[in-house]
Amino acid sequence: MNSLRYGVFLLFAAALTLPGLPAAAADLLPAGQAFALSGRLDQGRAILRYRIADGYYLYRDKLRFSVEPPAAKAGEPTLPKGKMKNDEFFGRVEIYRGEVLVRLPVRTPASNEPIVVTAVSQGCADAGVCYPPQQVSLTLLPGQPEAAAKVPGAPGRKSLLDALDGKP
């Protein structure tokens, strides 16, 4: 984890030395706003929706999902095709912009218990800054409307630089 924080720190340090980027880096959205996740249960699957802010993109191959309780047994997610990008950090990758729907097969508990979907994702801003992998959870109930992910530390709008709190 420390090496990841150090890597993010180095990215910021490099970005801050380039003309015109300090203001852009300070204005980055928190990950929960740049890559907002919501979802609902529908006929044996969790329908997960990422709303990706303008100027940001999400890596297709960095998406991972798990569910609780264990009886819910998640299957393989169905991911739509993304757009190819020559990325300065990861090379040739498939990305998503705008909105993306993921269909995750789950076994709905017979007792109508909630299912907690944990999603791991990673994305970047077009400003040249990548976010560390993000983990968020959704509590989904059968027959309930779409629920938004609970994002740690999201009560107020903080920039990515603020979130690092000056720590590498």
* Both structure tokens of 122: 């990673």
Residue 166 has pLDDT above 70, yes or no: no
Model pTM? 0.74
Contact present, 102 and 65 (Cβ < 8 Å): yes
Amino acid at the residue 57: Y
Question: Which of 74-83, 87-96, 113-122 is least confident?
Answer: 87-96
Phi–psi pair at 150, nearest 5 degrees: -90, 120
Distance in angstroms (rounded) separating the CA atoms of residues 145 and 83:
30
Beta-carbon contacts of residue 65 (< 8 Å; ≥ 6 apart): 46, 48, 74, 77, 102, 104, 117, 118, 119, 120
Distance in angstroms (rounded) separating the CA atoms of residues 149 and 127:
25
Distance in angstroms (rounded) separating the CA atoms of residues 15 and 119:
28
What CATH number is given for 30-153 in this structure?
2.60.40.1250
Kindly report, residue by residue over 5-62, the tens digit of the pLDDT: 444 444 444 444 344 444 455 689 999 999 999 999 988 899 999 999 999 999 999 9
Q: Is the peptide bond before 69 cis (omega within 30 degrees of 0)?
A: yes
Kindly report, residue by residue over 94-152, the tens digit of the pLDDT: 999 999 999 999 987 777 788 999 999 999 999 989 999 999 999 998 888 888 887 66
**pLDDT band of 88, cuts 50, 70, 90:** confident
